[in-house]
Amino acid sequence: MSIKLKPAVCIAWLPFGRVHLKPVIYATVIPVFRQPVQVSGDTSRRLNTSIAMRADTLRDIRIVKKITVTGDTERRVGHCGTVLVDTKRTLVKQSRILADTKIEIPHTLTYAEFKERGIRSFSVTLGELTLSDNIQLETVQPLSIGDSVQGRVLDYAFRFLVEETSQRGIVQSVKGTYSKDTLLYTSVHIYVERAKVSRYAAEIAAALGLRLHRLTDDFTPSQNFEGSGMTYHDFISALFGWTAKLPQRQINVFIRGDTLHIIQRGMEESVVDITHWPHAQPTIERKLVRSVWHSANNNLESGAHNEEDTAPIPFTGTISFKEISRTYYNGFLVRETNENGYSTYSYDGEYLAEKRTHNVDGSTSRTDYAYASTGRDVYLFKEWERTTEAVNDGKKHTEYDWEDWNREKGTERITYHAPLGYGWYATTVYVDGALEGSSLSQGKPGGKASQFTIEQSNLSLGAQYRGNGELPYSSLIDTEFPVVGTEYLRALTREIEWLNRRTQETVTVEIRARIRCGVSDIDHVVDFTERIRFEGHEYFLQSNTVELTPRLLRQTIKMVRWYG
């Protein structure tokens, strides 16, 4: 132990008296241990485990004890023994349902159950250029409108909703439609002006909740579907319906199970040979196909083109008479001159954005145009005109006298247009901030002319129609295709030429399957996903009608090819 002395001074203060300073010494005693302190200890643990059980069942016994001690370490001591036992487990399936979703439990039909379910007959027709199959059945167990029916005939899986019923006695005739009927006839909202068909197809399949199987050219449609409000059914028809003009490359769209198939003829991935299938005598029809008419005169529209090609080329050039001239670019007036000065015009797309006028006396006028767009239309919203007065300096001003635009003396005129409804528009005019007046009208301000008026205007200015002038014939096929791309249109033109004077052969054959003990010796339904080989030739499917009864399975196949 050591003692430290610490001197200190204490000052005492007495009011109205003398101050005496007295030294005071304080002694502070602090004990200090010079030797280190050591503490030792030990922990004793004892585990006692004893389990006794009598039962007629073996169990997996797992003992885990948790021991906690005061310290920085936590230990878990476990003992595990494993034995083989018979286990029974109950699984609980959880389903997540959206608020606007209805779950339907369909009637399930298989060929083996047709007799037990009271199905007297079942028929389905797979047709070209049809999105939905024609499904009909006869049953003695009535179904209700809207019932969902699913099943399988051979390898053809179907699912449909009951659309129509007809009852006669105990026999009910049922006509079905696709289970996606509600979505197919729901309006689609498109927010892209132009895209490739692969993107459109992917979006359609996703919207219908289907997988996509597409084997087609990835062309670009020329139509602008944005804001069209068409249904999915109409949208699919607009994308692929035009291909029927060229039957050798026709595109068929159909639903099988949970897959949306989009197949172009000639791109099928498989070929099915039906030559040795049991069939009746086929019916064969042949005819000569003419797709072009040869002529000594070139027809400007004989080749494949789209609707943009049929419109006149907008006029570009200058029309002048003495001191008056007007210059056009792509059908739009861009500059105008006369004896009093000149004017220039600039555009935002197809709408006038600015007009600038410079007169020979030095006066100027500049007008800006602003437009408001609604969901379906565009109308003129504001006109802002700023003018300057004439200089009167006795000289003739030209476009190089740019100082005239910066003169402060002048007026400002603002005109507002507003749609009131039912075709009426209100116009309000302010001059230098003061109300000048207002009026009503029924003509839409700044309205865009119709396509016919635009084309006639271009023709009157001297525009010409497009044309390649290379084909010395006229096409007997409508050559307006709703696609863009020069190379793709040329490919379609070559397809028109290829089809000319070919022999079209159509074969109709009836396949009759043998059924023994409820099992058919043919296990495949011919579909549009494949080409057909018959008697050494390859054909494309046009239709297949499958008829099924408890005693009969028949496929009536109609197929076509072109040769020569």
Please tell me which residue, 381 or 112, carries the higher pLDDT value. Answer: 381
Looking at the predicted structure, is the pLDDT value of residue 30 above 80? no
> In terms of domains, do 381 and 485 share one?
no
Share of the chain above pLDDT 90, in %: 36
As given in the structure block, the two tokens for residue 207 are 């919207």
Q: Is pLDDT at 20 greater than 80 in this prediction?
A: no
Q: Which span out of 294-308, 352-366, 398-412, 506-520 was modeled with the highest average pLDDT?
A: 352-366
The total of other beta-carbon atoms located within 10 Å of residue 129's CB is 16
Answer yes or no: is 418 within a domain.
yes
- Indicate whether 427 belongs to any domain: yes
Ranges 305-309, 330-334, 428-432: which has the least confidence: 305-309
Distance CA 371, CA 416 (A): 10
Return mean pLDDT, the chain. 79
Judgement on whether residues 369 and 480 belong to the same structural domain of the protein:
no
Q: How far apart are CA 21 and CA 516, in angstroms?
A: 133
| C-alpha to C-alpha distance for 6 and 490, rounded to whole angstroms | 111
- pLDDT tens sequence across 37-87: 565 656 555 655 555 555 554 444 444 445 554 555 555 655 555 556 565
> Is the same domain home to 348 and 296?
no
User: Residue 331's pLDDT band (boundaries 50, 70, 90)?
Assistant: confident
- In terms of domains, do 352 and 482 share one? no
Same domain, residue pair 349 and 407: yes
Interatomic CA distance for residues 408 and 386, integer angstroms:
10
**pLDDT at residue 59, as a whole number:** 44
pLDDT digits (tens, 9 = 90+) for 129-152: 888 888 999 999 889 998 888 888
Domain boundary among 152, 179, 206: 179
Longest dimension (CA), the chain: 147
Span 373-393, average pLDDT: 84
Other Cβ atoms within 10 Å of 548 Cβ, number: 22
Residue at which a domain ends, from 416, 439, 461:
461
For CA atoms 220, 224, 226, 227, give the dihedral sign: negative
Residue 417 has pLDDT above 50, yes or no: yes
- Same domain for 454 and 324: yes
Q: What percent of the chain has pLDDT over 70?
A: 71
Instruction: Choose the final residue of a domain: 158, 179, 200.
Output: 179
SS3 455: helix
420 inside domain:
yes
Strands in 432-475 per DSSP E: 434-441, 473-475
324 and 441 housed in the same domain: yes
Contacts of 98 (CB under 8 A, 6+ apart): none
Q: CB-based contacts of 159: which residues, under 8 Å, 6+ apart? A: 106, 148, 149, 150, 151, 178, 179, 257
CB count within 10 Å of CB 60 equals: 11
- Alpha-carbon distance of 260 to 126, in angstroms, equals 15
Residue 388 lies in a domain: yes
Residue 397: band (very low, low, confident or very high) from pLDDT cuts 50, 70, 90: confident
Q: How high is the pLDDT of residue 560?
A: 97
For residue 102, give every residue at least 6 positions away whose Cβ sits within 8 Å of its Cβ, in sequence order, or none. none
The stretch 395-421 carries a mean pLDDT of 85
Helix (H, G, I), strand (E, B) or coil at 408: coil
Q: Name the E strands within 360-481.
A: 364-373, 378-388, 410-421, 424-431, 434-441, 473-475
* 18-32, 143-157, 220-234, 237-251, range with greatest mean pLDDT: 237-251
Q: How confident is the model at residue 469 (pLDDT cuts 50, 70, 90)?
A: very low
pLDDT band of 118, cuts 50, 70, 90: confident
pLDDT digits (tens, 9 = 90+) for 233-292: 899 999 999 999 999 999 999 998 889 999 999 999 999 999 999 999 999 999 999 988
* Higher-pLDDT residue of 390, 299: 390
Number of domains within the chain: 3
Q: Are strands 148-153 and 107-110 parallel, antiparallel or unpaired?
A: parallel
Tokens of 317: 């050039």
For the ranges 71-80, 308-317, 480-489, the lowest mean pLDDT is seen at: 71-80
Judge if 451 and 373 occupy the same domain.
Answer: yes
Q: Which of 179, 147, 181, 152 shows the shortest CA–CA distance to 164?
A: 147
pLDDT at residue 10, as a whole number:
47
Q: How far apart are CA 187 and CA 200, in angstroms?
A: 15
**Domain that includes residue 490, residue range:** 291-310+471-495
Helix (H, G, I), strand (E, B) or coil at 111: helix
Q: Which residue, 367, 466, 381, is CA-closest to 426?
A: 381
What's the pTM? 0.58
147 against 15, higher pLDDT: 147
Residue 436 domain flag = yes
- Helices 197-208 and 232-240, axial angle in degrees (round to 10): 150
